[in-house]
Structure 1
Amino acid sequence: MALHYSSPFMELSQFAGWELYDEEVPSGGLITGIGRVSGIECLVVANDPTVKGGTYYPITVKKHLRAQEIARENRLPCFGFSHRLTGCRSSSTSFAVDSGGANLPRQADVFPDRDHFGRIFYNQATMSAQGIPQIAVVMGSCTAGGAYVPAMADENIIVKSQGTIFLGGPPLVRAATGEVVSAEDLGGADLHCRTSGVTDHYALDDEHALVLARRVVANLNIRKEPQVTMLPPEDPLYPASEIGGIVGTNLRKPFDVKSVIARLVDGSRFAEFKEHYGATLVTGFARLHGYPVGIVANNGILFSESALKGAHFVELCAIRGIPL
């Protein structure tokens, strides 16, 4: 609902967690992708509460960190929705959260290392320092590490009688001090908007929070400079429907990968790199929908010459900022 009404959504890392654990963890328990909020490109990260209560498996952490890496590289504002969040959590460009924190049976692979859970908070802080906006929308409970997310955000929104932010909830307070306090009095919208100042915008309900969220993004004053030289998109000279006939169903039967490339790229134009060296790896430049791209495609068994050729080409694309 936060995305622009006409915005497509490009989902990322859909197969994270596939057959990785004994139990099913669809998409790693996390949805990530790119869409537009108020006309501005944002990276969406959403916890899936139907997967072990939205808890973080090791693959969930890796997927979240990858989303933040994409946000950093492309300077996408970090815009997060928090529903019922307990335990460590962080925001990425645009995410919906309903998380139970770390998956405790696997916490040894979630918490301690350099690129584990804590890295999410580090990334949030450093991206904010780099001028990449971090925005949080609190629609539920943000407890323990999850409370850091809205507190560290550049701008945040909390929903009345629904959103809460505290390190320890009412049961923990009662166990530690004997004091009985409600979640709303301990860390609700009225407390944080009127007393503590942790939150910036007071939403009456979820729909109002989304309206405020879109307004916040609209006021970011972001003007994205074009990072590539664009050309008008062209259709390939040959129909893409022919690819099935070229590749076929027999995986042991070789095919010419250049025939596949000719049915994918704009105008079927492909500027091959090192055409006569390491011929079992095809490399070169082309355009897709007007965007420049580098293509690396194996065309048989790879030899040392092929590997050297591929490494050289990848370095060129990295220097020139051309996606592969």
Structure 2
Amino acid sequence: MTVSIDPRVAEGTVLSSALDTRGEQYAANRTASLAVLDQLEEQLDLVRAGGGERYAARHRDRGRLLARERIELLLDRDGSFLELSSLAAWGTPFTVGASIVTGIGVVSGVECVLIAHDPTVRGGAMNPISLKKTLRALEIARVNRLPVVNLVESGGADLPSQADLFVPAGQIFHDLTQLSSLGIPTLALVFGNSTAGGAYVPGMCDYSVLVDRQAKVFLGGPPLVKMATGEDADDEELGGAAMHSRVSGVADHFAVDERDAIRLGRRIVSELNWRKQGPGPSLPADEPLYDPEELLGIAPADIRVPFDPREVLARVVDGSRFGEYKPEYGTSLVTGFASVHGFPVGVLANARGVLFSEEAKKAAEFIQLANQVDTPLVFLQNTTGYMVGKSYEQGGIIKDGAKMINAVTNSTVPHITINTAASFGAGNYGMSGRAYDPRLMFAWAGAKLAVMGAAQLAGVMSIVGKASAEASGRPFDQAADDERRRGIEAQIEAESHSFFITSKVFDDGLLDPRDTRTVLGIALSAAHSGPIEGRRGYGVFRM
């Protein structure tokens, strides 16, 4: 019998696994992962509940759909929806989720960014966190070239927080018009209030659909008009769907009800004649050889304990195939080529936390190679930062780290970043953290992020305190220092927690590790809506 090999399959090594799924360490890791995921699910239940059953019932009694019901009807049947920034505003006075739902979903066969107000939370009013979440969604649409569908029903600004909201909120209008100028379509489906500044959302979108007797689009409502001009007018005369469809021209389409608006929205997207500019999947998208369920037992609860990222890759990449680059050099960083759901990728994954000069130079070379062949990069973060110490400083760790960061900064292929365990110090920057504009960035639910670990930061502060006391000739109060140290550790531990980080929209959401492959596939597909082009103008050079 003749065996043929698909020529599209990379000649990379098929990864083997040494994971002991019956061992104590695996069991402990899995137990810790499941505990964190239970905590995450509790918070997601709160997000999905919006303003709570009382306000949801009131909304339904008015004959209206909830925000997530609108999204579900808009999406293609069985189409994917990757929700973004789900835990925004966690731990703040605002409702977790920040009164808005954002995500990437498929509408009439087109991947779109969806932005939906949740009117059960303070009437869908926008607070500073929901603004941040909205702007991030618009940024994702711009950098990935994705059409935007706004599902509008908002009371406007959350007035008590206007001091932190009014000035930066103007960027929403800036970004909507910028998207239009870039040829990225924008739609507004208006189901309810879109008043004051919010009235500009349908006004600035390429397409607008208003629902009869529900949409209210005006710069000033009846009370304000009465105060400003003395004129008497009702909602429908000022901003109803019928008026805007027949008189002002703000509405492009008149919807008789919410389902009709969603139908019209799907029709508009189907008529965009939208074409991706990036290539489609080019390699076989066969499943990994190892069970993704086992991802729960790989990362230890103690982030100081390293793990082999190849075990992650074996359960994420197509066919568990991975063509490793420089496997014997700079071994604290694993680099190589693979594919996910058929999309070729280059991978940079921390193996033992610390980045040395060799790892930095290896990363810089590999990033250049990926750019030479227009291949997107996936960064799997688990780093404590660049190595410190006399011999490393003298050996040039600063200039070598700078080379890596330079390569990351100037790379133009899409970057997708996932923090799998820890992301500390400048290692966060070198591994394409948020400041380096990855197209999308996620974190496993048990991951941590900070300038350094809690114990290290508290210890540094203690050393500084002792040195200050000695320099000024003061006695050093060890008891007070111990108390201060415990307080700092507790503070940093809380501030490095994944829920705290994602609440500030410093990533695009928390992941169940088992969903890593699916999320990467959606992210890569979205990124290929635009052109995939690496940086040119320099060759690969050794450092």
Q: CA deviation at 1:252?
A: 4.4
User: Which amino acid in structure 1 is aligned with residue 157 of structure 2?
Assistant: A
State yes or no: 1:12 paired with 2:84: yes
Q: What per-residue deviation string (whole Å, max 9, x for no partner) do you get for residues 259-279 of structure 1?
A: 222222112122233434432
1:62 lines up with 2:132 in the alignment: yes
**What is the TM-score with the length of structure 1 in the denominator?**
0.84
Specify which of 107, 126, 130 is matched with residue 37 of structure 1.
107
Which of 126, 138, 158 is equivalent to 1:103?
158
Question: Which string of whole-angstrom CA distances, capped at 9 and with x for unpartnered residues, describes residues 41-84 of structure 1?
Answer: 2111112234444333333222212211221222222222222x
For residue 155 of structure 1, report the CA deviation from its aligned partner. 1.6
Which structure has the higher relative contact order (CA within 8 Å, separation 6+)?
A: 2
Partners of 2:284 and 2:318 within 8 A in 1: no
**Structure 1 residues 141 and 104, CA gap change in structure 2 (3 angstroms):** closer
Pairing 1:100-139 to 2, within 5 Å after superposition? 100-112=155-167, 116-139=168-191
8 A contact 2:210–2:254 mirrored in 1: yes
The change in CA–CA distance for 1:202 and 1:301 in structure 2 (over 3 A counts) is closer
Instruction: Give distance in 2, aligned partners of 1:284 and 1:155.
Output: 44
SS at match of 1:27: coil
C-alpha RMSD of the superposition: 2.4
CA–CA distance in 2 between the matches of 1:187 and 1:171? 13
Residue range with higher mean Cα deviation, 131-140 or 264-273: 264-273
Q: Is the 8 A contact 2:212 2:256 kept in 1?
A: yes
Note the alpha carbon deviations across 1:99-144, whole angstroms, 9 max, x for none: 23333343333233xxx31111111111111211111112212111
Q: How does 1:129-208 map to 2 (within 5 A)?
A: 129-208=181-260
TM-score by length of 2: 0.52
Q: Give 1:290's match in structure 2, choosing from 327, 339, 342.
A: 342
Counterpart of 1:77 in structure 2 is 147
Alpha-carbon shift at residue 322 of structure 1 (Å) = 5.9
- The one-letter code sitting in structure 2 at the alignment partner of 1:141 is N
SS where residue 217 of structure 1 aligns? helix
SS of 2:213's equivalent in the other structure is coil
* Aligned-partner Cα distance in 2 for 1:308–1:105: 50
Identity value in percent = 48
Q: Which structure 2 segments of 5+ residues have no match?
A: 1-72, 372-376, 378-410, 418-543
* Cα deviation code 1:225-256 (max 9, x no counterpart): 44355212112233333334444555544322
- Which residue does 2:497 correspond to in 1? none
Query: Separation in 2 of the partners of 1:259 and 1:145?
Result: 50
CA distance in 1, matches of 2:319, 2:340: 9
Shift of 1:171: 0.4
| Residue 319, structure 1, aligned to residue 412, structure 2 | yes
Kindly state the Cα deviation for residue 221 of structure 1 after the two structures are TM-superposed.
1.6
Residues 286-316 of structure 1 show CA distances to partners (whole Å, capped at 9, x for unaligned) of 2112122333322223234234544554564
Distance 1:212 1:13, change over 3 A: same
Give the AA of the match of 2:79: S
310-319 or 101-110: bigger deviation: 310-319
Alignment correspondent of 1:227:
279
CA contact (8 A) 2:306 2:353 kept: no
Higher helix share: 2
Give the conservation status (yes or no) of the 8 Å contact 1:292–1:323: no
CA contact (8 A) 1:294 1:322 kept: no
Q: Check whether the contact 1:237–1:263 (CA below 8 A) recurs between aligned residues.
A: yes
Aligned mates of 2:267, 2:132 — CA distance in 1 = 31
Shift in alpha-carbon separation, 1:280–1:52, aligned structure 2, 3 A: farther
Q: How many residues align?
A: 304
Residues 269-288 of structure 1 correspond to what in structure 2 (within 5 A)?
A: 269-288=321-340
Q: Which residue of 1 aligns with 2:74?
A: 2
